[in-house]
Amino acid sequence: MKIPAARTALFGPYSLDLRSGELRKLGTKIKMGEQSFRILRLLLDANGEMVTREELRTKLWPGDTFVDFDHGLNSAVQRLRDCLSDSAENPRWIQTVPRRGYRFVGQVDWQRAEEPVPANSTETKSPQAEAALVAAPSAETATRRWAFAAVILILVAAGITLGYRLYRQSEKRQAARSIRSLAVLPLENLSGDPKQDYFADGMTDELTTMLAKNRSLRVVSRTSAMQYKGVHRPLRDIASALGVDGILEGSLARTANRMHLNVQLIYAPTDTHVWAETYDRDLEGAFSLPEELSQAVAKEVNTATSDSAQQRYINPEAHDAYLRGRYFWFAGNDQRSQEYFEKAIQIQPDYAAAWAGVSDSYALRAIGDECPAKDIMAQMEASAHKAVGLDDSLPAAHHSLAAWYLFFAWDLPRADAESKRSIGLDPTIAEQHHLHSYILAALNRNDEALQEQKRATDLDPFTRSWGLGHAYLQLRQFDAAISELRMRADAFPNEPWIHFNLFAAYRYKDMWNDSERELEKGLKLSGQPEAAEAARQAFARGGERAAEEWAVSDALQRARKGYVAPYEIAKDYAFLGDKANTLKFLEQSYREHYPWLILLQTEPMFDFVHPEPRYQALIKKLGLQPSY
């Protein structure tokens, strides 16, 4: 009898089929990446002996892959531990030998397949044996009975196995149909190079955007899910925190010209693995992969996919540059993001999304008070119009043009029309609703503005956690603003703009101590500890009046050294109650075409100058309908 090599390793509730690479837990297939499988097999083959990190490097990573081996191995081992519900601190299966390697420490049983012994046609039976067989028919009968019983047992076992499989399939189908909300967790970068994070994050962003187009499936925002990047927590806990019942997670490995993507869909309440797939693509196919994946997910959860326009060809190098631009955009580095957006356009001049990115980068510099608006207005307008001209179906293009009409052209009807167009193309993007709330506020449509900001906050409570509180401030609903902002401060204690808005809300309520405390917190969190200390000392010396005088003095001093928006100086004078200087710097803001001036009537600190003829003349020049 010949016994072949073991086919399946059994340990605890797990089984690993070495031929197919399938890992199962109590019969349920668990998706794991190719690298994690190979690591597990090497550890099992070592039979409890340590496998060094160098051995793993030699056998898993060829010489032409990215060079950060330590990061790649650590990620693959952690992924393997997640599949086995194991931990480095209390290892049940995989033990780390510090700085040397790993060993498998669990009890392993090997399931072997025995080959039947073939009949030997030349074998002869002795006359005595034949006589014994003839003399003992009862033994033959017993053998037949045992054989019959064995067949029955095999059929019963097969029936049980088939029934269990059908039950599991039914359970998975039911779980899939139960998914009506979904979070796309950040794809894990298994390239072995941290510099490739932008690619994994970019693919996560594009996949989230594509899935969100499915109107029957609620998909949480990118920023809501991105907080779980690199966080290894039970998926059920993550799903509960995000308020979803489905989780899409995976890993991505990229070499010079190819990418390998593993994804799996999980119904979180029961931790049921609904669907898993592996995609191997060259970079030519990377751009279309999110569309293909979103169609597959929609099919699994039995929801209708939205009709999408035929995707245009995107050069892979241009797409790569665009993803880098988006990466720096979300990191708040508008200068680097603009560089990569422009690089994408140089490679592919008809790349509409990159043109919209350039427009947004220009806008952010002026809106963020980095430079006067007149320095970038022409470039922003040209880029926004170019984006719309290249692809009228692109929501981001119309959003960029809406921002141009609001902040720079001061053309509210056109801003409203472009904003509605961008929302109509994709109503799932929080930023578009946030911008539209500003437009409606400038048009004195206050109730609609509040509802739009509520939609933005519901879609993405993380990007602008202060947004709804600020909307209440614009409506002069100070108690509601304080209540909202205090709740957000508990959830986002390190967001400076929550505290700056609380500073203003308490100031309007004449709650000076609370106002000063929030101002100091905001200054510290925004990287201005010296200013926070100066404000504290001024308040301690002379109360609110002294603190306001310090704010004006500080703004004027900074303006002598670099650009400070006159609108911000006007705000400081308004808090001081100085009408003449408040109007002076508001008029200077008009001459400089300061973007935020279009929202002048929404700012409560300027209410005290509403009766002034100079203020009313300014409102008329802005083309605004008076709200007073």
Residue-wise pLDDT for 178-193, tens only, equals 788 888 999 988 877 8
Whether residue 213 is predicted with pLDDT greater than 50 in this model: the reply is: yes
Please answer whether residues 82 and 232 qualify as being in contact, where contact means their C-beta atoms are separated by less than 8 angstroms.
Answer: yes
Query: One-letter amino acid identity for 148?
Result: F
Confidence of residue 131 (pLDDT cuts 50, 70, 90): very low
What pLDDT score does 174 carry?
Answer: 54
Whether residue 67 is predicted with pLDDT greater than 60 in this model: the reply is: no
Please answer whether residues 311 and 206 qualify as being in contact, where contact means their C-beta atoms are separated by less than 8 angstroms.
Answer: no
Q: What is the mean pLDDT of residues 123-137?
A: 44
Whether residue 135 is predicted with pLDDT greater than 50 in this model: the reply is: no
What pLDDT score does 445 carry?
Answer: 96
What pLDDT score does 4 carry?
Answer: 42
- Round the average pLDDT of the chain to a whole number and report it: 84
Q: Looking up tokens 């979300």, which residue turns up?
A: 330
What pLDDT score does 463 carry?
Answer: 85
Whether residue 439 is predicted with pLDDT greater than 90 in this model: the reply is: yes
**Helices and strands (H, E) in the chain, number of each type:** 25, 14
3-state SS of 366-387 is HHCCCCCHHHCHHHHHHHHHHH
Backbone angles phi, psi at 11, to 5 degrees: -150, 125
Alpha helices in 509-623 (DSSP H): 512-525, 529-561, 566-576, 579-591, 613-622
Torsion of CA 439, 218, 462, 339, to 10 degrees: -70
Cα distance between residue 427 and residue 460, in whole Å: 12
What pLDDT score does 165 carry?
Answer: 47
Please answer whether residues 594 and 368 qualify as being in contact, where contact means their C-beta atoms are separated by less than 8 angstroms.
Answer: no
Return the half-sphere exposure (C-beta side, CA atoms, 13 A cut-off) of residue 208.
26
Whether residue 627 is predicted with pLDDT greater than 80 in this model: the reply is: yes
Whether residue 277 is predicted with pLDDT greater than 90 in this model: the reply is: no
Q: Looking up tokens 């050069």, which residue turns up?
A: 315
pTM score, two decimals? 0.71
What pLDDT score does 168 carry?
Answer: 46
Cα distance between residue 403 and residue 373, in whole Å: 13
* Most confident residue range from 29-43, 219-233, 311-325, 546-560: 546-560
pLDDT digits (tens, 9 = 90+) for 443-502: 999 999 999 999 999 988 888 999 999 999 999 999 999 999 999 999 899 999 999 999
Give residue 610's Cα distance to chain centre: 44
Q: What is the mean pLDDT of residues 612-617?
A: 96
Alpha-carbon distances of 428 from 203, 209, 297, rounded to whole Å: 18, 8, 18
Radius of gyration of the chain (CA): 33
Q: Looking up tokens 């989780």, which residue turns up?
A: 247
Confidence of residue 106 (pLDDT cuts 50, 70, 90): confident
Whether residue 319 is predicted with pLDDT greater than 70 in this model: the reply is: yes
Cα distance between residue 162 and residue 153, in whole Å: 14
Cα distance between residue 430 and residue 465, in whole Å: 12
pLDDT greater at residue 507 or residue 13: 507
DSSP state of 87: -
Alpha-carbon distances of 595 from 123, 261, 558, rounded to whole Å: 100, 43, 20
Q: Looking up tokens 């430079």, which residue turns up?
A: 371
Q: Which residues are registered as beta bridge partners of 17?
A: 8
What pLDDT score does 342 carry?
Answer: 96
Whether residue 304 is predicted with pLDDT greater than 90 in this model: the reply is: no
Q: Specify the 3-state DSSP secondary structure of 308.
A: coil
Q: Which of these ranges, 117-126, 251-260, 295-304, has the smallest mean pLDDT?
A: 117-126
Tokens of 604: 């409560």
Cα distance between residue 217 and residue 284, in whole Å: 29
For helices 566-576 and 529-561, what crossing angle results, to 10°? 120
pLDDT digits (tens, 9 = 90+) for 339-394: 999 999 999 999 999 999 999 999 988 888 888 888 899 999 999 999 999 999 99
Cα distance between residue 582 and residue 533, in whole Å: 26
Neighbours of 565 (CB within 10 A): 26
Q: Which residue, 146, 144, 50, 63, is CA-closest to 100?
A: 50
- Indicate the helix (H) or strand (E) that contains 154: helix 137-178
Cα distance between residue 342 and residue 501, in whole Å: 35
Tokens of 460: 């993405």
